[in-house]
Amino acid sequence: MENYSTSREILTKLISFPSVSSDSNLPLVEWVESYLAGHGIASERVMSPCGTKAHLYAQTGPEIDGGVILSGHTDVVPVAGQAWTTDPWTLTERDGKLYGRGACDMKGFDALALLAMARASTRPLKRPLQLALSFDEEVGCAAVVDLVETMMGALPRAREVIVGEPTMMRVVTGHKGGLAYNVHVRGFEVHSSLLPYGVSAIMQAAKLIDWANQRNAENAARTPSELASPFDPAYTTLHVGRIEGGTAHNITAKDCRFLMEFRFVPGESPQDWARAIEAKAAELTAEMQKIHPDTGIDLNPGFALPALAPEKDGAAETLARRLTGDNGRHVVSYGTEGSQFQTRGYSTVVCGPGDIAQAHQPDEFLSLDQLATGEAFMDRLIDTLCA
């Protein structure tokens, strides 16, 4: 294998793999396996149920508890329909920026983590450095659970997890959780002139969506909790971004479909929100079935992601602050795989190169300055593991 001795060289290779979530990431995983093996580091796969994707984990250093996990994902969002001015699968430098799909979210961090593993393999580590690369982060952050739980049984227990989503190398200690339902409202068709004898799926859907509006207003009016107050907005939000249904303007709609999304703050229970929407759907279903028994509202769970809560005296926060010098209080409203580690007992922070505003955009980029800052962070981490 060619010797990839810089993070930029590794990033160039990672970008060349079009590892969109809908496609296989196995070519990228095979290359990572080869790269690590070239530095004497064994790695293991955790295969997807369909066999077309794989997580990867590895460790270098002593076989003892108390190490650090560098966590990244290998999948990226599609480029179709976006107006790119460069080839999204070829890393391109322009004006101090490196352009390519995933450069920011989050193959830049992956490249830094791989280089750190290689460099750490030649150093006298007192604590191990572990690598966790996942698939399907961009479609819900659920697949990583298999990776986390496999690592828990296969490797010494790490003490800190650093999830490298783009934060401009600031230390993020909390993020909102996510919950979604695919909603199917089943109506009963009649001519619109006979409205009382039919059930309009669209009009019933509007009642459930208005219920979401009411919850948003109530949440906004409530005094934020201590855990919620750093967020913007500082409360749980409910959202419907797309809706479809109906046959004609003069027929009560037989079907209506939409996705209801919750972004809930730490300290609130996703189970409570699930029970709330299920209760409202049951209430509306009972009203609808008074007119026709075949009507109702079906709720099919979509993604479910725990919130990441700031930890009191958290080991990962202490480590990341020492390595970055950042003492600010930072939280984000988007979700990460970090909460899947935290809910399984790992001390976790989010800290990585690049600006989240670049994620998923055409001409996505990572600045050379951020790549250099990330590389210096990794070098300090290795020094810390040797101390």
Burial of 271 (0-12, 13-18, 19+ CB in 10 A): exposed
**CA–CA separation, 69 vs 159, rounded Å?**
8
User: Within 10 A of 93 (CB to CB), how many other CB atoms are there?
Assistant: 14
Q: Which of 105, 110, 136, 137 is catalytic?
A: 137
For 290-296, the CB contacts below 8 A with 24+ separation are 291/188, 291/196, 291/197, 291/198, 291/199, 292/188, 292/198, 292/199, 294/186, 294/188, 295/186, 295/187, 295/188, 295/199, 295/201, 295/204, 296/185, 296/186
- Amino acid identity of residue 256, one-letter, is C
Q: Which of 75, 105, 110, 138 is catalytic?
A: 75
Catalytic (active site) residue 379: no
**CA–CA separation, 58 vs 73, rounded Å?**
14
Catalytic (active site) residue 261: no
The closest of 192, 72, 140 to 335, measured between CA atoms, is 140
- Determine the length of the chain: 387
Q: Please give the distance of CA 96 from its chain centroid, rounded to a whole number.
A: 27
Active site residue ranges: 75, 137
